[in-house]
Amino acid sequence: MSTDALFDVSGPRGKRRIRIATGVSLLAIAVLIGLAVRQFAANDMFAADEWQMFGQWPIINFLLTGVGETLLVTVVAAAIAFPLGALIALGRLSHNGILRWTGRLYVELFRAVPLLLLLYVFLFGLPRLGLTLPVFWQLVVPIVATNAAVLAEIFRAGVLALDRGQPEAAYSLGMTYWQAMRLVAIPQALRQLAPALVSQLIRLLKDSTLGYVVSYVELLHQSQVLGEYYHTVLPTYLVAAAIYVAINVSLSRVANWLEHRQSRRVRTVGPQ
Amino acid sequence: MNALAGHLGQLGHGLLLTLLMAVIGLVGSLALGVLLAVFRISPVPPLRALGTAYVTVFRNIPLLVLLVLFVFGLPDIGLLFPLFATVTAAMVLYWAAFVCEVVRAGVRAVPRGQIEAARALGLGFGLVLREVVLPQALRSMVQPLANIVIGLTLSTALAAAVGVNELTGQAQFFTIQYDIPIPVFIVCTAVYVVITLTTGVIAGRIERRLAILR
């Protein structure tokens, strides 16, 4: 890690200072944890009946349904938003002025509107104009609309960052436009964009929690129903938060692994 | 439309809450985020672990989950504060994780040779940081920080989902109360677009002013 260069390998005095700092910070962390535990214990949060419900199959099943719906919303929204974002990026890069300006207008507008406001438009605004979508699409369409704008910018940056010499070299080898794109330009762009695309996917998954607002049966809404029914609001939301962290951490693990694998493959193939 | 004109003050009050939340959230998350970044690059193992754990947890929890956890969950363990303070605190905790990552990436973007050269000249940790690392790191952080400002401002809309009457909350209220959804949504959207564009323009200007011409 390059930040290690910030300080020398410590001498005896530096080592002692680090040991003291380690002790002090461990103590501080212990005090923080102790305070939290005391607050939980003082309100009977460690009582078995607050937590044992999460060991019962019907409850687990109820939460798993929520997880499944969260993943469904994520997959469907991503399956529409990713190609749409790529299309808008192509529009912004095209030589046609109208396409370029439409793309620009879309991106600037939908990157600047909070998702919840957009959701309210679909929830309260459009029904007044006689257009009522099913709940699933009331949630998915606003998510797609905002995410496509962000994804368009990611794709555009990827194309612009591409080394122009690469497609030119491909042309000089006699490749057609599509061959050059498919074999040379797109693989490189995707490799560079993979981390940004996965973190956008994580953001999209987080957006699915707005099902809480439209009462769609995804994980957060399920937790709300469960917590209010059994009067275990805090434990249920804590469990939900842990599930979200677990899903998102595994997603970013996949991204890191992809990045690592691809960079290794490039190194072994390269001319060095 | 008349109802809208007659209640502009109410909409303005919502805008004020939005801006207030954004400003307090930004100041708070900058302070906490920089502290966490210092933890993560410090040579003290427990602090490093604490910083890493914090960022892992708070970057991966959806903000809305954090908001409902704070607003509806914490009263269960006897922590009941005013709604606005609770919501703003949740935003600070959430965005601090992102600020921490921006600051850390900025410090890492400074070429290693710069730091080694400074150390070879005999500068200590503090001086290396103040004279060599931070001036360069801050420049590369302008654009990502502007993105955080925009993201934070837009995310204040989520406060409406837990009952804060900021701009988006007012839009919902107007829709239900006066049945004039479309004009209200247009006005609110315009306000958010103006905030976002202004932030972008200011960030661009700062970046150009700080840029070193080589």
B129-165 pLDDT, tens digit each: 888 888 888 888 988 999 999 999 999 999 999 988 8
Find all residues with CB under 8 Å of A43, minimum gap 6, and list them.
B76, B77, B78
Contact predicate A209/A203, CB 8 Å: no
A271 band by pLDDT with thresholds 50, 70 and 90:
very low
From chain B, pick out residues whose CB is under 8 angstroms from the CB of A220: 62, 64-65, 68
pLDDT of residue A3: 47
- Closest-CA residue of A relative to B122 is A8
**pLDDT over 70 at A199, yes or no:** yes
Contact predicate B140/B146, CB 8 Å: no
CB contact under 8 Å between A29 and B175, yes or no, is: no
- Closest-CA residue of B relative to A201 is B60
**pLDDT over 50 at A1, yes or no:** no
**pLDDT over 60 at A72, yes or no:** yes
**pLDDT over 90 at A149, yes or no:** yes
One-character DSSP codes across B114-182? HHHHHHHTT--HHHIIIIIIHHHHHHHHHHHHHHHHHHHHHHGGGGGGGT--SHHHHHHHHHHHH--HH
B37 band by pLDDT with thresholds 50, 70 and 90:
very high
Residue with tokens 């002692």: A16
From chain A, pick out residues whose CB is under 8 angstroms from the CB of B161: 116, 210, 212-213
Helix (H, G, I), strand (E, B) or coil at A233: helix
pLDDT of residue A7: 62
- Least Cα distance to A116 among B161, B148, B25 occurs for B161
What average pLDDT does range B28-33 have in this prediction?
Answer: 96
Q: ipTM of this predicted complex? A: 0.87
CB contact under 8 Å between B193 and A113, yes or no, is: yes
pLDDT of residue A263: 66
* Candidate from B74, B115, B188 with C-beta closest to A6: B115
Q: Is A40 on the interface with B (CB under 8 A)?
A: yes
**pLDDT over 70 at B213, yes or no:** no
Q: What is the amino acid identity at position B180? A: I
pLDDT of residue A265: 58
From chain A, pick out residues whose CB is under 8 angstroms from the CB of B157: 114-117
For A122, which DSSP code?
I
**Cα separation, B193 vs A64, whole angstroms:** 38
CB contact under 8 Å between A43 and B160, yes or no, is: no
* Candidate from A1, A244, A252 with C-beta closest to B65: A244
Helix (H, G, I), strand (E, B) or coil at A238: helix
Per-residue pLDDT reduced to its tens digit, A156-184: 888 888 888 888 898 899 988 778 877 88
**Cα separation, B192 vs B201, whole angstroms:** 14
Neighbour tally for A58: CB within 10 Å: 7
From chain B, pick out residues whose CB is under 8 angstroms from the CB of A245: 56-57, 60-61
Lowest-confidence region among A2-16, A36-50, A234-248: A2-16
Residue with tokens 């989902």: B161
**How far is C-alpha A157 from the chain's CA centre?**
19
**pLDDT over 50 at A52, yes or no:** yes
A40 band by pLDDT with thresholds 50, 70 and 90:
confident
Contact predicate A210/A79, CB 8 Å: no
No. of H helices and E strands in chain A? 13, 0
Mutate to test the interface with A, among B41, B48, B65, B166 (most CBs of A within 10 A): B65
- Closest-CA residue of A relative to B127 is A6
Q: Is A268 on the interface with B (CB under 8 A)?
A: no
**pLDDT over 50 at A2, yes or no:** no
pLDDT of residue A109: 92
CB-based burial, A190-209: b 16+ in 10 Å, e otherwise: ebbbbebbbbbbbbbbbbbb
- pTM (global) more than 0.90: no
**Cα separation, A73 vs A78, whole angstroms:** 8
* Candidate from A6, A205, A248 with C-beta closest to B125: A6
Packed helices A97-112 and A57-93: angle between N→C axes, nearest 10 degrees: 150
What average pLDDT does range B176-199 have in this prediction?
Answer: 86
pLDDT of residue A272: 41
Contact predicate B138/B106, CB 8 Å: yes
Q: Is B104 on the interface with A (CB under 8 A)?
A: yes
Find all residues with CB under 8 Å of A128, minimum gap 6, and list them.
B179, B181, B182
What average pLDDT does range A13-21 have in this prediction?
Answer: 87
**Cα separation, A20 vs A18, whole angstroms:** 5
* Candidate from A42, A121, A210 with C-beta closest to B64: A210
**Cα separation, B150 vs B101, whole angstroms:** 16
Per-residue pLDDT reduced to its tens digit, B84-137: 999 999 999 999 999 999 999 998 888 888 888 998 898 887 888 888 888 888
Residue with tokens 């972008």: B200
From chain A, pick out residues whose CB is under 8 angstroms from the CB of B129: 6
A contact residues 189-218, partner B, Cβ 8 Å cutoff: 202, 205-207, 209-210, 212-213
B contact residues 180-209, partner A, Cβ 8 Å cutoff: 181-182, 185, 188-189, 192-193, 195-197
What is the maximum alpha-carbon separation in chain A?
76
Residue with tokens 């919902």: B172
Per-residue pLDDT reduced to its tens digit, A202-229: 999 999 999 999 989 999 999 999 998 9
pLDDT of residue B48: 92
**pLDDT over 80 at A4, yes or no:** no
CB contact under 8 Å between A25 and B104, yes or no, is: no
**Cα separation, B42 vs A14, whole angstroms:** 13
**pLDDT over 70 at A269, yes or no:** no
Distance from the A169 Cα atom to the nearest Cα atom in chain B, whole angstroms = 30
Contact predicate B51/B66, CB 8 Å: no
Contact predicate B44/A6, CB 8 Å: no
Q: Is A21 on the interface with B (CB under 8 A)?
A: yes
- Closest-CA residue of B relative to A9 is B43
CB contact under 8 Å between A116 and B176, yes or no, is: no
Q: What share of chain A has pLDDT > 70, as a percent? A: 93
B contact residues 30-59, partner A, Cβ 8 Å cutoff: 41-47, 50, 56-57, 59
- Closest-CA residue of B relative to A36 is B77
A23 band by pLDDT with thresholds 50, 70 and 90:
very high
- Closest-CA residue of B relative to A250 is B60
Average pLDDT, chain B: 89
Average pLDDT, chain A: 86
